Amino acid sequence: MDESNTRSDGDALSPHIHLNLNVRGLGPSATLAINERSAALQRQGREVYRLGLGQSPFPVPDHVVAALREHAHEKDYLPVKGLAPLREAVAGYFQRTEGLDYAPENILVGPGTKELMFIVQLVYYGDLVIPTPSWVSYAPQAHILGRQIRWLPTDPATGMGVTADALEALCRTDPERPRLLILNYPGNPTGIAYSPEQLQAIAEVARRYRVLVLSDEIYSGTRFDGEHISLARYYPEGTVISNGLSKWCGAGGWRLGAFAFPSQLRWLLDGMAAVASETFTSTSAPIQHAAIAGFSGGPAMDRYLADSRRILQALAGFFHDTLTAAGARCRPAQGGFYLFPSFEPLRERLEARGIGDSVTLCERLLEETGVAVLPGSNFGRPSSELSVRLAYVDFDGRPALEAAAGETVDEAFLRRHCARVVTAAERMAAWVSRDGD
């Protein structure tokens, strides 16, 4: 007789006893959950405007896809820190795009920067310091690892980013405490970037208190004016840059990211590589070979980036103007795929319709208009605040890019080639400014 069938339920493996305490209560990441929910609603025949997940609308550039095809047969495990020519190409990318010199030995390749961020938080012992709002996964990663999370207060007037003053105020409370600050710009969820003066001021405080900074620059190539500047320019010895193919190269699903370390932090790279060798082993071989083409640049990539930026900039401007005309408060974006509007100025009107927090706002918006966005509470904002993150990416990027090569990217262009985003903006604006139900 099979004994397992005779056991009482009390003997069975149970989440109440056996689930790691730090994982209890965690659901799937908000970005992935909204994506799957949107897809499920579409399968049921619902019209859904998918502004939830921040995925590039553009195809991977053809020459990068060709490189992947050419290397599909590569099957060996590769070195844990990454394929040597790819580490060289990544170092070349930082030199070409930002004038920063990294030896290829100071580059670590991984299966997406998200995984590398988890590993750096595991290897480096310190509090996680992030501004509110911040991308959905930084805090849960720290929570899983049992790290303290310190949210830095922000001010809508300064774009809701990290300020040197807020960092200073936190560090002063316990100057010797080890800390890891994550700075992300162009920012997810706000789309804002930092000026050289702001970066310099943050660098000064970080240096004074020996704060390790993970500079998440994954959206660098989408900066609308093409003028991204790394924090590493001002704080080279304490900055680790995070970048990858997911955003500016349209290859989120390829899962390829890289960190660049200063020589002084080789011990951190080596510690991370030790963990990598015991966990993911090495990043997918064909993807690493193809990524060389992605990081190497060239005229085709330059054209692709320039056209992508023009479209993203026009969409950000259109969406911003449409929502602010309807009464929302919103900072204009400087890069990336996102806006982070607040509907607080419309609170009275929304409350009269039973909408008093960001989760209800997003649920009702999805239910009544089909527009899927994420609540500000997923990004560390108070749940009572009527803020949301929207990703203006629901359009087919290939024809849009082809058209952008020969056309002015104005509102008429957006209505022709990014019609779903335009409709979503107009539906959202009409919905929030509606009186009573």
Q: Give me the residues that bind ligand GLU (CB under 6 A), please.
A: 29, 31, 53-54, 114, 135, 137, 188
Nearer to ligand GLU, 113 or 239 (CB): 113
Least distance to ligand GLU, CB of residue 92, Å: 25
Least distance to ligand GLU, CB of residue 111, Å: 12
DSSP 3-state of 299: helix
**In the chain, what is the straight-line distance between the N-terminal and C-terminal CA atoms, in Å?**
63
Least distance to ligand GLU, CB of residue 131, Å: 15
Cα separation, 342 vs 327, whole angstroms: 9
| Residues 6+ away with beta carbon under 8 Å from 408 | none
Cα separation, 22 vs 13, whole angstroms: 18
Q: Which residue is nearest to ligand GLU (CB)?
A: 54
- Are the C-beta atoms of 334 and 228 separated by less than 8 Å? no
Least distance to ligand GLU, CB of residue 30, Å: 8
Output b/e per residue, 366-399; b: 16+ Cβ within 10 A.
beebbbbbbbbbbbbbeeebbbbbbbbbbbebee
Residue 385 identity? E
Nearer to ligand GLU, 193 or 409 (CB): 193
Least distance to ligand GLU, CB of residue 338, Å: 8
Residue reference for tokens 């040597």:
84
Alpha-carbon distances of 199 from 61, 183, 203, 230, 307, rounded to whole Å = 32, 10, 6, 8, 27
Cis preceding-peptide flag for 345 (omega within 30 of 0): no
| Residues 6+ away with beta carbon under 8 Å from 31 | 52, 53, 54, 136, 137, 374
CA torsion sign, 318 to 391 to 366 to 49? Answer: positive
Least distance to ligand GLU, CB of residue 257, Å: 11
Nearer to ligand GLU, 29 or 42 (CB): 29
Nearer to ligand GLU, 216 or 385 (CB): 216
Least distance to ligand GLU, CB of residue 78, Å: 23
Structure tokens at 240: 């680790």
Cα separation, 245 vs 406, whole angstroms: 26
Nearer to ligand GLU, 112 or 294 (CB): 112
Nearer to ligand GLU, 53 or 268 (CB): 53
Cα separation, 82 vs 213, whole angstroms: 22
Least distance to ligand GLU, CB of residue 300, Å: 25
Nearer to ligand GLU, 114 or 320 (CB): 114
SS (H, E, C) 52-90: CCCCCCCCCCHHHHHHHHHCCCCCCCCCCCCCHHHHHHH
Least distance to ligand GLU, CB of residue 77, Å: 25
Nearer to ligand GLU, 87 or 114 (CB): 114
Least distance to ligand GLU, CB of residue 32, Å: 6
Nearer to ligand GLU, 188 or 296 (CB): 188
Nearer to ligand GLU, 61 or 244 (CB): 244
